[in-house]
Amino acid sequence: MSPIVPSQAGALAEHIDSLLRPLSLPERLRAARDAVEGRIVFTTSFGIEDQVITHAIAEADVAIDIVTLDTGRLFPETHDVWAATEERYRRHIDVLAPKTDALEALVAADGINGFRQSREARTRCCGVRKVEPLARALAGAAGWVTGLRGDQSAYRAATPFAAFDAAQGLIKINPLADKTRDEVAAYVAYNEIPYNALHDRGFPSIGCAPCTRAVRLGEDERAGRWWWENDGKKECGLHTRQDVSRVKESV
**Active site residues per annotation:** 236
Question: Which phi and psi (to 5°) does residue 162 adopt?
Answer: -155, 145
164 annotated ligand binder: no
Q: Determine the Cα–Cα distance for residues 41 and 195; give it in Å rounded to an integer.
A: 21
Judged by DSSP in three states, 238 sits in coil
Paired strand residues for 74: 208
Q: Determine the Cα–Cα distance for residues 231 and 141; give it in Å rounded to an integer.
A: 32
Judged by DSSP in three states, 137 sits in helix
90 annotated ligand binder: no
126 annotated ligand binder: yes
CB distance 17 to 163 below 8 Å? yes
CB distance 160 to 17 below 8 Å? yes
Q: Long-range contacts for 24-27 (Cβ within 8 Å, ≥24 apart)? A: 25/52, 25/53, 25/56, 25/175, 25/176, 25/187, 26/56, 26/59, 26/60, 27/60
Annotated binding-site residue numbers: 125-126, 208, 211
Annotated binding-site residue numbers for [4Fe-4S] cluster: 125-126, 208, 211
